[in-house]
Amino acid sequence: MFKNMGKNQSLNLPYPLILASTSKYRAELLSKLGWKFSSIAPEVDEDQMKGEGHSPDQLAILLSRMKAKAVYLRNEGSCVIGSDQVCRIDNQIFSKPQTIERAIEQLTHLQGKSHELLTAVTVMTPQDEISFLNRTILHMRDLTIDEISHYVRSDLPLDCAGSYKLESLGIKLFEKIEMTDHTAIIGLPLIELSNILIDLGYPISN
């Protein structure tokens, strides 16, 4: 976990809560914690950051910070949550495929192998900036090109890093998943995030 700015427990917390994302998956996850929040698009250029040669770990953290900061600067005095996922095998990064053809290509490369899903989160308030990284190791089963094509066209995982939806049909693609928090694979690790927000003053009982 990375921390900056220091913590002042005497502050009048909690702050208004904002999710720096318009992802329906992350919004659904955050809503499970029971705190009221709003969702705002960060409107950042992720491609520029991805072209700067950062390691997968660094990239995930930097993108989550960039998203949180972009929204925080427009909503100072709030608590902003930024998150990003990076799918990697060795040091090769797989971004959101955006097209069916690209999704099939990614899954063809991943099938029969193990890869890592990095989920980074940054929480930014007037007094704190806290970032953490969750690691999930996924072991994908051997798949034929027909199985891959059928999956992609059925589940349309075009906005998902790695080209699969584990909360949907994509779970069938895997033999084993090693994780510390099952919510991380959907895009927002709620265990660590809730620990941070409770420490900041958000109540367990709503």
90 is catalytic: no
- With DSSP H G I counted as helix, E B as strand and the rest as coil, what are the percentages for the chain, rounded to 5? 35, 25, 40
Across 105-118, b (16+ Cβ under 10 Å) vs e yields: bbbeebbeeebbbb
117: nearest Cα among 129, 106, 128, 105: 106
End-to-end CA gap in the chain: 27
Tokens (6 digits) for 149: 């094509």
**Catalytic residue (choose from 45, 47, 57, 84):** 84
Backbone angles phi and psi of 118, in degrees to 5: -100, 120
- Pairing label, strands 79-89, 114-124: antiparallel
Which residues are marked as active site?
84
